[in-house]
Amino acid sequence: MNQTAPQPKLHWDIFCRVIDNFGDIGVCWRLALNLAQRGQTVRLWVDDASALSWMAPVGAPGVQVLAWTTPFESHGVAPGDVLVEAFGCDIDPEFITRYTSNLQARDQAALWFNLEYLSAEDYAKRCHGLPSPVMSGPGRGLTKHFFYPGFTSDTGGLLREPDLLSRQTSFDRATWLGAQGVAWTGQRLVSLFCYEPAGLSALLQALAADQVPTILLVTPGRAAAALHRVLDEELGFQAMFNRDKTLSFFYLPTLSQTDFDHLLWACDLNLVRGEDSLVRALWAGKPLIWQLYPQADDAHHPKLGAFLDWLQAPPSLRHAHHVWNGVHPTPPWQPTAQLISQQQWPEWQATCLAARQRLLQQHDLVSQLLAFVANTP
């Protein structure tokens, strides 16, 4: 469901500090692109735009990328109508001073959002949309609003392009795989985009022991490094591992966001990490296993539990997530029966498709942002 009421054409300033090149900047670029596709003008201020060279190599009409430097350099531009602080970053006081002056001159209310991290935990719906009065500094007297992405109608929703479903419908799996150089003749396809998951060794052993030929499509960076480490240090000395060559590996180059979507659409199981890729895997509608960013105090465990509750994950899918993320205690893992056996996959597929259908009945994140802005006096 998308809101189709006419929206005012505004200038947006999105600020992003990069912690994880594939996460923070990925979400912010999709947000900027989605706004521009709906007629908005966007400046994306980022302290490290290097990942955009492959993530969005051709840029996008209506989106300007500016270096967010220290000390702050305004590049001679005035603040726009809407400010977005992504993931708790603080906009420089020089910019806020000019923004405040512009609002006072026009006698307008602030359109200033703190875009938070994605979570299925209860606090997301409790805090979504709450005002946050600015009590000090150059923005004193203005009000920010918390904007929480989420999986339910009482949150800010998820990023989704208006043409997403039509692009998926017209996607040609074989053609795309051939263009990547994948020699696909009907093998099962599994994507690997991960950190260093606890269950990687067990997964590889299960895939190799299974009778169904599998190609593991490996993304560059930490996923490829984790795979090499497990193959070299844990499985390389096991004579029986992959004896029949049932499991093969294809190492992908860096992919644009468009081609990353295509990867998820092409695969039969998607192993994804972080926020942006989880959302894209949900839209793909294929079975998925999500790895959260691991935290020393295990704060990611309740976050995973909340997501699995929302997903209405069956026991086998919940179990696979626990093993993949190193959640303990967990029952002993039977890799083939619990993760790789295709007897489980139809149930996983149905679960993910039902979740996607629930999401499609809700307003997407950009539609909600635009509606909030339009309804602000």
Catalytic site residue from 13, 24, 161, 364: 24
Q: Does any domain span residue 307?
A: yes
In the structure encoding, which two tokens stand for residue 268, read together? 């039969």
Cα separation, 144 vs 110, whole angstroms: 7
DSSP code per residue over 260-272: HHHHHHH-SEEEE
- Could you read off the pLDDT of 164-180 as tens digits, one per residue? 999 999 999 999 999 99
Cα separation, 227 vs 231, whole angstroms: 6
Instruction: Kindly state whether residues 105 and 180 are assigned to the same domain.
Output: no
Please report the pLDDT score of residue 336 as a whole number: 41
Instruction: Kindly state whether residues 227 and 346 are assigned to the same domain.
Output: yes
Helices (H), the chain: 24-37, 52-55, 93-106, 122-127, 164-169, 173-180, 200-209, 222-230, 257-266, 274-284, 300-311, 315-324, 335, 345-360, 365-374
Instruction: Kindly state whether residues 343 and 213 are assigned to the same domain.
Output: yes
Please name the amino acid found at residue 349.
Answer: Q
- Asked whether residue 4 carries a pLDDT value surpassing 60, the answer given is no
Instruction: Kindly state whether residues 256 and 149 are assigned to the same domain.
Output: no
Please report the pLDDT score of residue 21 as a whole number: 67
Q: Does any domain span residue 111?
A: yes
Q: Does any domain span residue 209?
A: yes
Instruction: Kindly state whether residues 151 and 181 are assigned to the same domain.
Output: no
Higher pLDDT, 159 or 300: 159
Max CA-CA distance within the chain? Answer: 75
Instruction: Kindly state whether residues 17 and 141 are assigned to the same domain.
Output: yes
- Asked whether residue 334 carries a pLDDT value surpassing 80, the answer given is no
Q: Does any domain span residue 6?
A: no
Q: What average pLDDT score do residues 285-312 get?
A: 93
Instruction: Kindly state whether residues 335 and 224 are assigned to the same domain.
Output: yes
Q: HSE of 313 in the Cβ direction (CA atoms, 13 Å)? A: 20
How many domains is the chain partitioned into structurally? 2
141 φ/ψ sector (left φ>0, alpha ψ -120 to 50, else beta): left
Q: Does any domain span residue 248?
A: yes
DSSP code per residue over 119-172: --SHHHHHHTT-EEE--SSTTTT-EEEEE---SSTTS------TTHHHHHHT--
* Best CA proximity match to 224, nearest among 194, 248, 204: 194
- Work out the pLDDT band at 323, boundaries 50, 70, 90: confident
Q: What average pLDDT score do residues 269-288 get?
A: 96
Instruction: Kindly state whether residues 55 and 149 are assigned to the same domain.
Output: yes
Please report the pLDDT score of residue 268 as a whole number: 96
* CATH number, domain with residue 229: 3.40.50.2000
Instruction: Kindly state whether residues 215 and 151 are assigned to the same domain.
Output: no
Catalytic site residue from 116, 161, 275, 276: 275
Higher pLDDT, 74 or 334: 74
Please report the pLDDT score of residue 258 as a whole number: 97
- Work out the pLDDT band at 94, boundaries 50, 70, 90: very high
Instruction: Kindly state whether residues 134 and 189 are assigned to the same domain.
Output: no
Residues ≥6 apart with Cβ < 8 Å to 366: 31, 34, 35, 38, 159, 160
Number of residues that make up the chain: 377
Which residue segment(s) compose the domain that 15 sits in? 11-157+363-374
Q: What average pLDDT score do residues 267-286 get?
A: 96
- Asked whether residue 333 carries a pLDDT value surpassing 90, the answer given is no
- Could you read off the pLDDT of 120-131 as tens digits, one per residue? 999 999 999 999
Please report the pLDDT score of residue 80 as a whole number: 97
Catalytic: 116? no
Catalytic: 210? no
- Could you read off the pLDDT of 224-255 as tens digits, one per residue? 999 999 999 888 767 788 989 999 999 999 99
At 71, phi and psi to the nearest 5?
A: -70, 160
DSSP label at 47? S
Cα separation, 84 vs 249, whole angstroms: 41
- The answer to whether 52 and 29 are in contact (CB under 8 A) is yes
Does pTM top 0.85 for this prediction? yes
- The answer to whether 214 and 294 are in contact (CB under 8 A) is no
- Asked whether residue 295 carries a pLDDT value surpassing 90, the answer given is no
- Asked whether residue 290 carries a pLDDT value surpassing 80, the answer given is yes
**How distant, in Å, are the alpha carbons of 12, 128, 290, 322 from that of 81?**
6, 21, 36, 44
Q: Does any domain span residue 3?
A: no
Residues ≥6 apart with Cβ < 8 Å to 9: 39, 40, 41
Instruction: Kindly state whether residues 168 and 314 are assigned to the same domain.
Output: yes
Please report the pLDDT score of residue 337 as a whole number: 44
The per-residue pLDDT of the chain, averaged, comes to 92
* CATH number, domain with residue 59: 3.40.50
Instruction: Kindly state whether residues 121 and 183 are assigned to the same domain.
Output: no
